[in-house]
Amino acid sequence: MSIDHQKNIIEVKNVSFSYDNVEVLKKITLDIHRGDYISLIGPNGGGKTTLLKLMLGLIQPQAGQIKLFGKPLHDFRDWSKLGYVPQKAINFDPLFPVTVREVVAMGCYGKEGILNWLKEKDQKNIDTALARVEMTPFADRLIGNLSSGQQQRVFIARALAGEPEVIFLDEPTVGVDIKNQEEFYSLLTHLNKDLNITLILVSHDVDVVSHHVTELACLNQTLVYHGDPKQFMKGHYLDDLYGKNVCFVDHKH
């Protein structure tokens, strides 16, 4: 896959962030280019989700600057270029009375803007998004009645319905079984390769994501590593991150 390194989608420059007085991120500098499929990995508390939230403007850094599509975050208005798949287990109420189609439609709201109803084009985008994740037959089912793997696909479809250029995913496979995880990752690869959508994926599962992504950014307060996942697995970075003698459980792909 060819990555257009000319075009920076996200520029993180010298960003630091602390919760109260605990420094979570120290002087992070990281560029993400159009077409990248990058995973932010690292130990718990290493700051990967924090960095994702900083990039999305959900929290503000104490120091440094973040640019999205060349614009500083506070001037950025093109939110429809971004898709977001939140950490499902925390954010999602299985009893919420919405159908799959209603959830996917939410992905179009930001683009249409306040006071505008969804148009025919949006309905087509919703249909396409549902088809892409193979959830068309479930469109009228309540979201709470699906398996967690299916729910995860619906959240991907919601992100796709807004026709984003980049999708942010926060630990999307938590609670999804291995077989569905594999299907999930091949769907992501398809989105990245065939639709040229830039993907930024937060994961704690270094071993699994390194098989799929094209780049790894490894965070433990500082940016420990950024580059090819194969080089990362060969190097001594894992020792630095998790301590020596760490053994990864193979998921038998």
- Is residue 109 within the footprint of other proteins (CB under 8 A)? yes
With H, G, I as helix, E, B as strand and everything else as coil, classify residue 107.
helix
Structural contact between residues 200 and 172, judged by C-beta atoms closer than 8 angstroms: no
User: Widest CA span of the chain, in angstroms?
Assistant: 57
- Is residue 102 within the footprint of other proteins (CB under 8 A)? yes
| Footprint of other proteins on 25-64 (CB under 8 A) | 56-58
The single residue among 23, 27, 92, 222 that binds other proteins, judged by CB under 8 A, is 92
- Whichever of 97 and 137 has its CB closer to other proteins, that residue is 97
- Whichever of 43 and 57 has its CB closer to other proteins, that residue is 57
- The C-alpha atoms of residue 138 and residue 134 are separated, in whole angstroms, by 9
Q: Residue 208's CB: how many other CB atoms inside 10 A?
A: 20
Segment interacting with other proteins, rule: CB under 8 A, options 35-43, 77-85, 221-229, 233-241: 77-85
Which candidate, 100, 75, 81, 89, places its Cα nearest to that of 34?
Answer: 81
Which candidate, 113, 124, 198, 214, places its Cα nearest to that of 161?
Answer: 124
- Is residue 82 within the footprint of other proteins (CB under 8 A)? yes
- Whichever of 79 and 242 has its CB closer to other proteins, that residue is 79
Segment interacting with other proteins, rule: CB under 8 A, options 13-21, 82-90, 172-180, 243-251: 82-90
With H, G, I as helix, E, B as strand and everything else as coil, classify residue 249.
coil
- Whichever of 35 and 162 has its CB closer to other proteins, that residue is 162
Residue 52 makes CB contacts below 8 A (sequence gap 6+) with 40, 168, 170, 200, 202
- Is residue 250 within the footprint of other proteins (CB under 8 A)? no
Q: Site for other proteins (CB under 8 A): how many residues?
A: 35
- The C-alpha atoms of residue 199 and residue 209 are separated, in whole angstroms, by 12
- The C-alpha atoms of residue 13 and residue 27 are separated, in whole angstroms, by 7
CB of 106 to other proteins, least distance (A): 5
| Footprint of other proteins on 166-185 (CB under 8 A) | 168
Q: Which positions lie near other proteins, rule CB under 8 A?
A: 56-58, 77, 79-80, 82, 84, 86, 91-93, 95-99, 102-103, 105-107, 109-111, 114-115, 117-118, 140, 142, 145, 158, 162, 168
